[in-house]
Each structure stands twice: as structure tokens, then as C-alpha cells.
Structure 1
């Protein structure tokens, strides 16, 4: 029988315990983080065939390596920071891979890697290159860091409006409004990029 996931405040308590040197709490936090990354990767691959298990695994592994290098469990103050760091790590992995893939295409030698299928699926489903979306997200953050965070939790993390509101300490009406405004701003930015 598997153990149920910790509640929101339990994650923050475990983070505090990990920062005080409790390695068991640190491992448990990282397990929760990996579970979140798996869900987020699956969210990005919703229309992909189930046989493509390697792509989300490669993404998750690389994101975990980056999170360990950042020592996110020791530096995270709370659950909100932890999940934001996880979403950003996953996005950065995809951006870096998209950029290297595009550079390889220009160079003539293209070797398909596991994350290529994930990126191809994302770009086909959304009609935008991931690197251009990342640029639009950076512009959104300059305008409204909170709206970018809402996008990250809703879109990349796969959280519902209610889960995002609880994670960020906001009302659901605020999250709905930020989500709507952020999507409009991203659309406007991406439309300008295409022209």
C-alpha cells in the first residue's frame, strides 16, 4: 500500500526539517518533487502515444540533475518556491534542448534525441517553437512575475485553478484573472514574433 502524498503545509515543514539537516525529510521532499515533475511531463505529453516513455523520463532526469545542482531542497523556503523551481528547471531543460536542436538543424547534422519527440509534440500541439514561448514568458515575467508563475503552475505544472491559488496564497478569482490576462499577453507577444 502506497503512502499518501504529504499535504501542503507538511511539505513546508519537511523543507524546514531538511534545512536543519534532516536527510530523511530532504529525501521525502525530493520524492514529492519527482512526483510533481512526472505529472508535469505527462501534462506536456497529453496527446503523445503512451509508447514514448523515454521522452518524459529524459526530461525528468535532466530537470532533477539541475535541481540537485541548485540544491533546491536546501534553498527552498516553502512549497511554492519548490514547485516554481521545479517548473523552471523543466522549462530550462526544454529551452536548452530546443536551442541546441535548432543549432544542429542549421549545421546540417540532426541526430534525433529522446526529447526531440517531446518538443515536436509540444510545438505541433501549440503551434509555437518552445524557444519562442520561453522568450514570451520572459517578457511576461518582466510585466507581471505573478502572471508568469500562474502560467507555470497551470500549464507546465498541470495544477488546477484551485491548486494554483492555494499554492500561491491567492484567491481563485485572482488566479483566473491572471491566467486569462497572461494567456492574452502571451498570444499578443507570440503573434508579434511570427509577423
Structure 2
């Protein structure tokens, strides 16, 4: 595994059109992407998706974004987490369309280091709540994506967003409160 600075250099080379850099990038971030995918799939609600399939689908969507500008490894992983979340939401919507229903669920917003153990309907509800949050405050939604979904630390989120760690903590608390309320009213 390369150092974070080497990964950042590969991302810069890929951004400048170096296709070999893209080829060298995947092995360097693959294990971290697998950890993210495993975290998403930990609840077992996606029997038709494997960790490997989710990683590959997300990676392909990332490298096909010609206009993406990843500042560093943490920024790239934030985008990867967002891509995985969108893939799972699309999968959940398709699954939910096939069978209506679903129970209630609880998310522990006090920890960013938890698996997302949602089934199809619950993933859709969470996505709708996150979209509503994003409509009110895009930065709060981004903090949730990076902390909860990507599992980035407060410091990493601050670096990606270019804000202070105190702002990240404040935004994280506001976002959790909003999402908790939004999910309770839909349950």
C-alpha cells in the first residue's frame, strides 16, 4: 500500500489524463473500498450484491467521471462512499418496487463506526432524509456522507471540506438531530 501522499499523486496524474495512473490506483485503494463496501453490506439486506461487485461498480463509476477533481485519498474515499450509497439506494429502490413493505429501524447516530444495517425500504427512507437535509444545508449532508457512510474521521472530513474540526463536530451533531427526527416521522 502506498502512502497517502503517493495516492494523492496518483489521483492528480489520473485527473490529468494518465490512464496508467488509474490502473495503478485501484490496487492502492482496493482494500479500503472493500472495507467501505463490507460496512454497507454488513446488515445482510443486499443478498444479491457482493462486496466485490459493489466495489467494482463504484470504482467504475468513479474513474468514468472525467470532471471529478479528487484532492487526496480522503476526498476520493468520500466520493467512493457516496457512489456506493447511490448504487445501494438504486438497488434498494428496485428491490422495494418488487416487494412493498418494511419495518422500522434504528440507527445509532452517536457512532460513525457502525455498520449500515438497513434493508431496502429503510435505505430509501434514509436516502430521502439525507436528500431533505441536503436541500436545507449541503454541507451538513456532506458531513453525514463522509462521517457515517465513508467512515472518515473528524479530521479527515475537515480536510476534505476545508473547514475546522469544530465545524465538523457542530455540523455532525446538527445533521444527526435532523436525520433522527426525519426518520422518526417517516417510521
Q: Same fold by TM-score, threshold 0.5 exceeded?
A: yes
| Cα pair 1:39 1:158 within 8 Å, conserved | no
Q: Classify 1:193/1:47 alpha carbon distance in 2 versus 1 (closer, same or farther; 3 Å).
A: closer
How far off its partner does 1:191 sit?
1.5
Q: Is the 8 A contact 1:122 1:130 kept in 2?
A: no
Of 34, 40, 47, the residue aligned with 1:44 is 40
Give the direction of change, closer, same or farther, for the CA distance of 1:61–1:15 in structure 2 (3 Å limit): closer
Aligned to 1:84: 78
Please give the per-residue CA displacement for 1:116-149, whole angstroms capped at 9, x wherever unaligned: xxxxx7226xxx7000100111111111111111
TM-score by length of 2: 0.75
Where does residue 112 of structure 1 map in the other structure? none
Q: Which residue of 2 aligns with 1:60?
A: 55
Gaps of 5+ in 1: 107-120
- Which residue of structure 2 aligns with residue 117 of structure 1? none
Aligned with residue 26 of structure 1, among 15, 22, 25: 22
Contact 2:34–2:51 (CA under 8 A) maintained in structure 1: yes
Match of 2:143 in 1: 150
Higher helix content, 1 or 2:
1
User: 2:3: which partner in 1?
Assistant: 6
Match of 1:70 in 2: 65
Larger Rg: 1
Query: How well do the aligned residues superpose, as a CA RMSD in angstroms?
Result: 2.7
1:192 paired with 2:185, answer yes
> Once the two structures are superposed, what CA deviation does each residue of 1:174-194 show, in whole Å capped at 9, x if it has no partner?
111111111101111112222
Kept in 2, the 8 Å contact 1:15–1:77? The answer is yes
Is 1:105 aligned to 2:119, yes or no?
no
- Secondary structure at the aligned position of 2:117 is classed as helix
Contact 1:33 1:86 in 2 (8 A): no
TM-score by length of 1: 0.72
